[in-house]
Amino acid sequence: METHPRRTVLAAALGAAAAAATAGAAQAHGDRGAQRFAKRRLKAMSLEEKVGQLFTVYAYGRTADTQEAADVAKNQETHGVNNAAELIAAYKVGGIIYFAWSNNVANPDQITGLSNGLQAASTADGGDPLLIATDQEHGLVVRIGPPATQLPGAMALGATHDPGAARDAAVISGAELRAMGLNVNFAPDADVNVNPANPVIGVRSFGSDAEHVAGFAAAQVEGYQARGDLAATVKHFPGHGDTEDDSHTDLPQIDHTYEEWQEVDAPPFRAAIDAGVGAIMSAHIQFPALDPTLTPATLSKPILTGLLRDELGYEGVIVTDSLAMEGVREGYGDDRIPVLALLAGIDMLLMPVDLDLAYNAVLTAVAEGELTEKRIDESVLRILCLKYRLGLYDDPYADPDAVAEIVGTAANLEAAQAISDRTTTLVTNDGTLPIPTDGGSVLVTGWGETTTNVLTAEFTKRGFSPTRVVTGIAPTQAQIDAAVAAADGKGFIVVSTNGVAANPTQVDLVKALAATGVPVVALGVRNPYDIAYYPDDVNAYLATYSYAADGLESAVAVVLGHRSPEGKLPVDIPRADDPGSVLFGFGHGLSYE
């Protein structure tokens, strides 16, 4: 009998959850053991070693001791060292974070070798193992690409309305990350995306309903942490879901009242804390109702200590979002930010612009009495306890021989596609869908070089001979005219759109295609809100919540009737001309059945 991939991964998830529950019965004992160990270790550390533990930073290179000229030059420019091994030796940092742009994530075997090399460098001469992290949210934010399994992102998972699907995805992703030597994932996103114009969260959120997001965030925490050797991190506290500014480049302000915060923003963080989340990441946002001084949350004692510690009762590690982001640097010097963050209640300082400046600023603050060593000890103790609970003091290494058996396996890829197939949401349909097998030739057009390529390949696999015309994020009149000309004689048109509110000439493209009289099927391949800008101009509209290949494959299968759409909106879609009115509500979704 053939094993159904979803049932296989669900059984694995249930088994892992049962194991986690058994482990939870001994959690109090484990926490006491972690505290005892961490306190002993803390006593043996110098102040400089303690301060080093507070920092998680990046280093360039595919190996810990890289001698590649380009990586060495960048490491010298950034940190004044040749490679990560020298960086660890110089500062005794507590963690390393991986990115593609820092040349850390070429393939699973390389990543595993890098992780093991970093741990060897850090534990040499009795040093502490590292927290090794990345942002593997899936969907829009992915640091480790194929052949590692690519899973649906948060809003796509939210469209299943089944937290079990989110747990399954996290079990797969967590096992693969740990197999490559990572032990912290800066995911999931616990923000409630109540603002369709949010430029930085959007599909990174599970949806616009607080309880919905809470259930999914908790499920992913449980999935990532089911084995006990990887820490999930919910973000961005106290909630980044209602902003029209991007904290990478600006300092957003959230205007919710305290009561609205309790109702809208807090529930996912409460749920994650109840699920035992390993870390919580702060947001670089102003939240006047929570701190009327307008201090960014990352530097706000009323928010981090008053709310997160005292009111929500969180006792674990609090990590900053990147300290290189403008949202926290606006109005503060890079030497002051780490000190103010620690005074506010932060434990882990992520990616300061200048590590040497930040490190010495903390040491100076202790020497001058602005920070006490006791305050440093509180944060280091939490970090050491986390490392202990993850088993890093027993064995920080990944098994190179096991990578191929865990990462990107056929079973994981099949399970990912099975989950993705449940996310595609058919928002509108005048009867055009499903397209019959003899639906004629198809024009694939719209946003995205890779997106249109994938769509073209998927139609080709199913016996069609597509014509492809890429029009980009802001189609010119010439590009629109080319797409219209290519539509002549076609049986139907598939047009992908991405962020039409900010790029309105995409709407011009859709309207021009509609005027040809050829049936138009639109795909919103990022945020699902695009339909609000052309509701009467298309014959059908599907939300895919991302332009990942699995999601696009699912969408084509739905268009052709090879699969009935199962997804339901995890957000309200407001009218473009009247944002106070709902065009399509939370839970809406059409089916062929």
End-to-end Cα separation, the chain, in angstroms: 27
Q: Tens-of-pLDDT digits for all 593 residues of the chain?
A: 233 333 344 444 334 333 433 333 334 335 889 999 999 999 999 999 999 999 999 999 999 999 999 999 999 999 999 999 999 999 999 999 999 999 999 999 999 999 999 999 999 999 999 999 999 999 999 999 999 999 999 999 999 999 999 999 999 999 999 999 999 999 999 999 999 988 889 999 999 999 999 999 999 999 999 999 999 999 999 999 988 777 677 788 999 999 999 999 999 999 999 999 999 999 999 999 999 999 999 999 999 999 999 999 999 999 999 999 988 998 899 999 999 999 999 999 999 999 999 999 999 999 999 999 999 999 999 999 999 999 999 999 999 999 999 999 999 999 999 999 999 999 999 999 999 887 779 999 999 999 999 999 999 999 999 999 999 999 999 999 999 999 999 999 999 999 999 999 999 999 999 999 999 999 999 999 999 999 999 999 999 999 999 999 999 999 999 999 999 999 999 999 999 999 999 999 999 98
Instruction: Take residue 59 and report the two structure tokens written for it.
Output: 């280093």
Q: Cα separation of 139 and 438, whole Å?
A: 33
- 102 contact partners, CB below 8 Å, separation of at least 6: 58, 59, 60, 61, 74
Sequence-ordered alpha helix ranges (H) in 104-263:
108-123, 154-158, 163-179, 210-224, 258-260
Q: Which residues of 69-91 are buried (b: 16+ CB within 10 A; e: fewer)?
A: eebbebbeebbebbbbbbbbbeb
Backbone CA torsion sign across 84, 374, 237, 354: negative
User: According to the model, what pLDDT value does residue 126 have?
Assistant: 94
pTM of the model: 0.93
User: According to the model, what pLDDT value does residue 566 have?
Assistant: 98
Q: Cα separation of 579 and 559, whole Å?
A: 29
Q: Cα separation of 23 and 390, whole Å?
A: 12
Q: Look-up: residue for tokens 């986690």?
A: 20
User: According to the model, what pLDDT value does residue 434 have?
Assistant: 97
User: According to the model, what pLDDT value does residue 30 have?
Assistant: 56
For the CA atoms of 157, 159, 162, 165, the dihedral, rounded to the nearest 10 degrees, stands at -30
User: According to the model, what pLDDT value does residue 249 have?
Assistant: 72
Q: Cα separation of 153 and 423, whole Å?
A: 10
Among this protein's residues, is 321 annotated catalytic?
A: yes
Q: Cα separation of 160 and 171, whole Å?
A: 17
Q: Check: CB of residue 70 under 8 Å from CB of residue 101.
A: no
Largest CA distance in the chain: 78
Beta strands in 476-538 (DSSP E): 492-497, 520-524
Q: Cα separation of 305 and 303, whole Å?
A: 6
- β-strand pairing of 582-584 with 573-574: antiparallel
Cis peptide before 519 (omega within 30 of 0): no
Please count the other Cβ atoms lying within 10 Å of the Cβ belonging to residue 468.
17
Instruction: Take residue 429 and report the two structure tokens written for it.
Output: 């349909």
As beta bridge partners, residue 541 has: 428, 522
Catalytic one of 189, 191, 242, 321 = 321
